[in-house]
């Protein structure tokens, strides 16, 4: 397994990827949405899945940008 940053768990990685796919491929706004708006939507979706459904930690948009690749 590769290097992981910010203490993200594997489930959080999956939830973040799923939220990204939902909002980055949105056919209604698609490529015309602003990056900050898209990441805010991703944050809302991620936190709903992570915090409300899986009892994981709340994450900010900044925490996603500091993840190691």
Q: Where are the domains of the chain?
A: 10-65
CA distance 54 to 9: 12
> What φ, ψ does residue 42 adopt, rounded to 5°?
-60, -45
pTM of the predicted model as reported, rounded to 2 decimal places: 0.75
- Report which of 45, 35, 27 is spatially closest to residue 65, judged by C-alpha positions: 35
Q: List the one residue out of 12, 1, 22 whose CA is nearest residue 47.
A: 12
Rounded to an integer, what distance in angstroms lies between the CA atom of residue 33 and that of residue 55? 30
pLDDT tens profile 4-14: 455 778 899 89
- Per residue in 15-62, pLDDT tens? 999 999 998 887 887 778 888 888 899 999 999 999 899 888 888 888
């Amino acid at each position: 397994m590769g290097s992981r940053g910010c203490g993200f768990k594997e489930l959080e990685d999956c939830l973040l990827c799923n939220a990204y796919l939902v909002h980055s491929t949105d056919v209604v706004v698609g490529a015309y949405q602003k990056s900050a708006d898209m990441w805010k939507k991703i944050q809302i979706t991620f936190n709903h899945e992570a915090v409300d459904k899986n009892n994981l930690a709340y994450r900010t948009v900044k925490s996603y940008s500091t993840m190691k690749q």
